[in-house]
Chain A
């Protein structure tokens, strides 16, 4: 409790260096996904896993979200979930448009 009641965040520098190292490792791994030309679902799932791990480390440790009060955390992290609806809508619509294009372009 004392930690959050003081003005500002107090953590050892080594914490940031460790996270820095982890981010380097994860970036290298995601670059290797491309370097070794993984394809299909393996490629996509690896890319997403490394991306989410990196994003989580940055938000939780570098942006100090792990030490904020829950009211703040939910206010910032929950609204972007609406975007999943947008992505879902756009993806289904894009599939429909693609099918139509194939249909009409093939008629020449």
Chain B
């Protein structure tokens, strides 16, 4: 009897059962044994914890990049010029990276809308938006392959390059490679989820949360790109 006396289970008033907000809410949630994350399913919690660990991995790479760039005695290659393209006679600095950024942001937008339509139980729209997201992701990886090809042609290798500090190549291939791997896995993941949406799995269970969980992963990939764009390409 004493164990559950704290929760007013018998009352009908919504304010009595609603968990507290603010700091008292935080302490209440964390002190309620085994159930710290109220109203968050285990799947969503696990995705968030995975993303948290992935944040540490990517930050380790970016920190390593910072360390080798700060210690390099040769000048760092000018990324604005290294990633420039000549389109229709116009010399555009960093243009490919800008296009890749816009493609990835757009894919995040369509994914957010897919999650929304999922919760409205509009199956077809959800699937189409997820597939659009996956298509943008595939386009992003395609452009990255083009960029890698161009840099390898220009003589950039993990152990050296003709433009300056030798550490540039290793940082570039490691960071963009690991991010590209995340995008590629994300494309496969999204295709699986779209297939399940179309087949009606979530319609039957009445729960579209798996779309939101996939969305969390996809937005995280976009989030990491925001940091790579700022620190590796623009800095």
* A positions within 8 Å CB-CB of B: 1, 4-5, 7-11, 13, 16-17, 19-20, 23-24, 27, 30-31, 33-35, 37, 43-44, 47-48, 50-51, 54-55, 58-59, 61-64, 68-72, 74-76, 79-80, 83, 86-87, 90-91, 93-95, 97-98, 101-102, 105
Contacts and interface: CB of A to CB of B under 8 A. Distances in A.
Interface stretch (B94-102, B134-142, B144-152, B173-181): B94-102
B26 A71 contact: yes
A3 to B, nearest CB: 11
Contacts of B207: 7
A20 B40 CA distance: 26
Contacts of B227: 51, 55
A32 to B, nearest CB: 10
16 contacts: A11-B116, A23-B108, A23-B109, A24-B102, A30-B229, A34-B233, A37-B80, A58-B223, A62-B112, A64-B212, A70-B29, A76-B49, A94-B66, A94-B70, A94-B71, A98-B70
B103 to A, nearest CB: 11
B204 interface: no
A66 to B, nearest CB: 13
A23 B112 CA distance: 13
A1 B226 contact: no
Contacts of A80: 52, 55-56, 59
Contacts of A83: 55-56, 59, 63
A62 B80 contact: no
Given A16-B112, A58-B222, A34 B25 contact: no
Contact of A34 (B55, B56, B119, B234): B234
Contact of A54 (B21, B80, B113, B226): B226
B67 A50 contact: no
A9 B70 contact: no
Most buried by B among A24, A69, A95: A69
